[in-house]
């Protein structure tokens, strides 16, 4: 086929309007299942403290004579534990010209960048709350860091022989051991330990590889529904000997950790909640800061556990 003589065409033309969709597509994830499922708490100082306690062991000899003289039971003091609040931030800056220009997909450049920053800040928080990171109290030259969940869990652990746990106070990270495949017997071991310690875990969190690995456990035969033609192969609820537990994938936890958590025994404690500050203008640009100051409150680590040192690929 040949174009007609002197037909003015788009290749030669100038001034044609660009075809750009007025929507910005962002595939990056920002779901944070740990951060959004645990409690919020108030921190009143950069060193956040709380108390833990335990019941006396159950007695099989708690019987007494009628009319017996009373004597007081021995009491134990509560234990004060703590974690350090760290500061996380995002700082977008937009030139005056870019702010003034009309844009596809957003009306206000700074507002759009702040929306992105808020999502990025949440994923940073999720990552750091679930990290194997030792607390750093900090000083005038040392940055404060919160103790992540990996530095707290020591009571109910299934790990490689060459792996180590911390102190259970958030100030010592665990040492990873030789990676091994995730098995149901490992999970059952941790669930039993949690229950024997008085815990009632209600969620298992896994990275993508081990979420799929768990779906291969022997009790999960593939199930076909004749009603809608669907094939169910995943384990999203695990019915253990000690109760029903949700199973969730988490993009932002350590891929080698299988976290077995009682959610009400954790909180994120805020000294300063996420907020936006307008900073002093420098040159022909607008600059804002989004900051949050927070820490992990591990109310009692003995209610939760970890299957550690897992193969992750």
C-beta separation of 149 from 130 below 8 A: yes
Q: What is the pLDDT of residue 153?
A: 97
Residues 159-181: pLDDT tens digits? 999 999 999 999 999 999 999 99
The CA-CA-CA angle for residues 186, 189, 192, to 5°, reads 150
The CA-CA-CA angle for residues 77, 83, 88, to 5°, reads 160
User: What does R_g of the chain's alpha carbons equal in angstroms?
Assistant: 27
DSSP 37: H
Ranges of each domain in the chain: 33-51+79-169+182-303
Is the confidence at residue 194, as pLDDT, over 70? Answer: yes
Structure tokens at 228: 């809608």
Other C-beta atoms closer than 10 Å to the C-beta of 41 total 17
C-beta separation of 132 from 309 below 8 A: no
Residues 204-259: pLDDT tens digits? 999 999 999 999 997 655 565 556 656 667 889 999 999 999 999 999 999 999 99
Complete DSSP assignment for 255-309: TT-EEEE-GGGEEEEEEEEEEEEEPPP-SSEEEEEEEEEEEEEES-GGG-EEE-S
Q: What is the pLDDT of residue 110?
A: 82
CA neighbor of 47 nearest in space, from 295, 266, 298, 299:
295
C-beta separation of 197 from 191 below 8 A: no
Structure tokens at 189: 């071991």
Other C-beta atoms closer than 10 Å to the C-beta of 239 total 10
The contacts of residue 93 (CB under 8 Å, 6+ apart) are 285, 286, 287, 288
Q: Annotate 43-111 with three-state secondary structure.
A: CCCCEEEEEECCCCCCCCCCCCCCCCCCCCCCCCCCEEEEEECEEEEECCEEEHHHHHCCCCCCCCHHH
DSSP 18: P
Residues 36-50: pLDDT tens digits? 999 999 999 999 999
Residues 85-118: pLDDT tens digits? 999 999 988 887 877 777 777 778 888 888 888 8
Q: What is the mean pLDDT of the chain?
A: 88
Is the confidence at residue 3, as pLDDT, over 70? Answer: no
């Amino acid at each position: 086929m040949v174009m007609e003589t002197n037909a003015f065409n788009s290749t030669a033309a100038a001034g044609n309007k660009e075809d750009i969709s007025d929507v910005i597509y962002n595939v990056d994830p920002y779901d944070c299942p740990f951060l959004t499922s645990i409690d919020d708490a108030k921190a009143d100082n950069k060193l956040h403290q709380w108390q833990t306690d335990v019941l006396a062991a159950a007695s099989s000899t708690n019987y007494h004579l009628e009319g017996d003289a009373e004597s007081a039971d021995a009491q134990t003091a509560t234990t004060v534990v703590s974690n350090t609040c760290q500061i996380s931030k995002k700082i977008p800056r937009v030139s005056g010209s870019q702010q003034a220009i009309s844009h596809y997909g957003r009306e206000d450049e700074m507002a759009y960048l702040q929306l992105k920053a808020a999502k990025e800040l949440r994923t940073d928080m999720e990552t750091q709350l679930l990290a194997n990171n030792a607390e750093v109290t900090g000083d005038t030259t040392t940055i404060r860091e919160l103790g992540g969940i990996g530095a707290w869990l020591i009571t109910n652990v299934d790990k490689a022989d060459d792996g180590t746990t911390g102190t259970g106070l958030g100030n010592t990270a665990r040492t990873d051991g030789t990676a091994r495949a995730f098995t149901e017997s490992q999970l059952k071991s941790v669930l039993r330990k949690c229950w024997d310690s008085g815990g009632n875990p209600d969620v298992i969190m896994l990275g993508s590889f081990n979420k799929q690995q768990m779906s291969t456990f022997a009790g999960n035969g593939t199930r076909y529904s004749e009603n809608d033609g669907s094939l169910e192969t995943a384990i999203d609820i695990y019915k253990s000997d000690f109760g029903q537990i949700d199973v969730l994938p988490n993009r932002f936890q350590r891929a080698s950790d299988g976290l077995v958590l009682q959610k009400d025994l954790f909180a994120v404690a805020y000294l300063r909640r996420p907020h936006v500050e307008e900073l002093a203008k420098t040159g022909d640009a607008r600059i804002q800061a989004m900051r949050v100051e927070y820490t992990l409150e591990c109310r009692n680590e003995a209610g939760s556990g970890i299957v550690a040192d897992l193969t992750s690929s």
